[in-house]
Amino acid sequence: MTAKGTKGIVAAGHPETTRAAAIILEEGGNAFDAVLAAIYAASVVEPVLCSLGGGGFLLAHPGDGKPVLYDFFTQTPKQKATEEDLDFFPIDADFGAVTQEFHIGMASMATPGTVRGLFQVHRDHCTMPMRRIVEPAMALARNGFTVNRLQAYLFQVVGPIYMSSAASRDIFAGSADPDGLKIEGETMTNPDFADTLDVLAREGEDLFYRGEIAASIAADCRHGGGLLSTADFEGYQAHQRQPLGVDYRGARILTNPPPSSGGILIAFALEMLKDMDIRGLRFGTPEYFGCLAKVMEVTNKARIDSGLLDATESLLDPAFLATYKSEITGQPQVNRGTTHVSIIDAAGNAAALTLSNGEGAGYIAPGTGIMLNNMLGEEDINPAGFHRWPENTRMCSMMAPSLAVEPGGGLIAFGSGGSNRIRTAILQVVVNLLDFGMSVEDAVNAPRVHFEGGLLNIEHGIDDDVITRLVADFAETKCWDERNLFFGGVHVARRKASSTIGNAFHGAGDPRRGGAVEIV
């Protein structure tokens, strides 16, 4: 989307999320005020993907300062308990073509970091009072909003989780069919969450980490088979890290550094592409997609080996990945449901924020309307079996909120949801923008591939003759008959340095994940 605008641009995963941020920009708030408003709103209208009971990352680029990465992702509990005493059980999520098992319950909950992170960002960068920033989300939670198609689909996928407790059913059960989740077109409210935001904004984050909310969650865990204690909440800290940087096609790409893995793998792939003439392969050809798949394959191997392969030594500095090897190895990793917000304002402040709640634990913190995460119920972090995670450790993630600083001062803010597809979705959008010079809309909408575990996934929209070649060239392929959220959801905001302020902003919300964009 390109339109006249003088205050900024927002790209996110739901029109109401985008609108909440735009309201704050319209009133004179900066990108950081707006991104907080967006996340509070997303916690209402994108509840499967976003919750104050989860965790995430913000890559902040102040217009007059140095970029910084805020890590407020989830932390493993300080103590374990015997397995027979735990509230921890499997459910099946129905994706239509396949079902997948997840584990939920109070023992699946890691220490949430979102509230701590948002308040830290507010102290460091915001200009508006928190009471005003939460108001758009409060209005949505109290007055209601219409469930859209994507959210209704996600409700059906994770139905057993959101129907697993009375408190959760009170929020998410359908009006016409109280035995099922809300469907497209129904109105949804969460008045308890509106009240929680009101009190949080007035009393501050200690309510969540040292006050009534922490105490009630800890008490429920103590008596009901959970692991979180008041010590977990009191000890939680948001971390500030120097973003990982890599130069690519004249731009400086900044992304999420270790101990999370998504950013380093994106940087690894870009380093490999630097010396390849991918533009000479022409976009959309079998050779182009084959090149991308090869880069994805080698990156997967590097991820597993935590070292460089012989095939890539001529393209990379051998110390590149080794520098981060010890920081990535051993971190419990989470890859599940996520949402993303990208915002740039007229002053050059840029915010890229990605947040996840896993699938949700099925547990609503009493009286808050907040569902906590189920990060400890993820098979990805438990290859040797559940309950073997290291205590009191920041969890690793594939989430990679990112920025590109272009020559002359242009800025691009971007990121994605999509589990392991986050890094390949972001990689392809970066290549589309910087190698092929596509518009933001075309870069986001272009069909994608994803190669992992010997299987090449081919998204709908690629020419039939190209698909025929790819099927012949790869041992295992899966051809999708639609654009699908499997391939990520890259929401992009861009400010071009060479444009006048009235037409400097461009953006796209990824339609695969309900994307919306608004220029203010």
The residues carrying an active-site annotation are: 338
The rounded distance, in Å, linking the Cα atoms of 362 and 346 is 41
Pairing of strands 187-188, 145-146: antiparallel
Largest separation between any pair of C-alpha atoms in the chain: 64
DSSP state of 8: E
Q: Identify the helix (H) or strand (E) that includes residue 254.
A: strand 251-255
Closest CA to 427 of 260, 282, 297, 514: 297
The rounded distance, in Å, linking the Cα atoms of 8 and 11 is 10
The rounded distance, in Å, linking the Cα atoms of 394 and 258 is 11
By the 8 A CB rule, do 262 and 256 touch?
yes
Closest CA to 43 of 115, 130, 123, 100: 115
Q: Degrees (nearest 5) of the Cα angle 391, 394, 400? A: 150
The rounded distance, in Å, linking the Cα atoms of 3 and 15 is 17
Q: Any idea which residue has 């518009």 for tokens?
A: 439
Number of other residues whose CB lies within 10 A of the CB of residue 28? 11
Residue 202 tokens read as: 């007035």
Percent helix / strand / coil, the chain, rounded to 5: 40, 20, 40
Residue 305 tokens read as: 């080996």
By the 8 A CB rule, do 130 and 165 touch?
no
Number of other residues whose CB lies within 10 A of the CB of residue 306? 13
Torsional class of 407: left (φ above 0), alpha (ψ -120 to 50), beta (otherwise): beta
Burial class (CB in 10 A: 0-12, 13-18, 19+), 51: buried
Number of other residues whose CB lies within 10 A of the CB of residue 80? 14
Distances (CA, A) of 101 to 47, 159, 473: 20, 13, 32
Relative orientation angle of helices 286-305 and 464-473, to the nearest 10 degrees: 40
Q: Identify the helix (H) or strand (E) that includes residue 70.
A: strand 68-72
The rounded distance, in Å, linking the Cα atoms of 484 and 469 is 22
The rounded distance, in Å, linking the Cα atoms of 132 and 36 is 11
Helix (H, G, I), strand (E, B) or coil at 149: helix
Distances (CA, A) of 227 to 186, 396, 513: 36, 19, 33
